[in-house]
Amino acid sequence: MKRAGRTVPSLSITLLLVFATLAACGGPWRDGYFKKGVNRLTQDEISEKLGPPHTAKTPALGGDTIWTYRVPYSDKDLDPMDLSGITNAANEAASLIGKGAQDGPKPMLYCYRYVLTFNEQKVLKRWKREECVPGTRDTLHAG
């Protein structure tokens, strides 16, 4: 037997699950990956997951190796409490029942550089995330 009000509670549960998933993410996944990987992850493991680095500097006389990755992030990637996912889910649900989605602002894109330092045994020693510097080779270009 079908219940008349079943669609609304199902939509509420779906939106709640979307919100819980977004809140649990806690920012860019790479931050957590590198944080947990200090003194554990190797160059080979990172390269297998992320591909080759954009730059790699290995000193000729030994010492630490430095890799950099450039990564684009949007506002919602950087803010774990961003509620745009709920808005997007609500808009998609509205379009399914015949109501048009609301036009909202487009997400802003930022370029971040991950600088990874490896010891001579090729194990991640430390990492940092920093903004790319405009006007240098660090910036990401659309196209």
Q: Tell me what pLDDT residue 29 has.
A: 93
- Count CA atoms within 13 Å of residue 43 on its CB side: 17
Q: Strand, helix or coil at 126? A: strand
Each residue's pLDDT expressed in tens, for the chain with a length of 143 residues: 555 555 545 544 444 443 434 334 445 899 999 999 999 999 999 999 999 999 999 999 989 999 999 999 887 777 655 444 444 555 555 555 555 555 566 667 889 999 999 999 999 999 999 998 775 555 454 43
CB 46, CB 33: distance < 8 Å:
no
| pTM of the predicted protein model | 0.59
pLDDT at 116: 98
Note the pLDDT of residue 141.
Answer: 47
CA distances from 136 to 10, 27, 47, 58, 108 (A): 49, 26, 24, 21, 20
pLDDT for the residue 104: 61
Residue 81 contacts residue 23 (beta carbons within 8 Å): yes
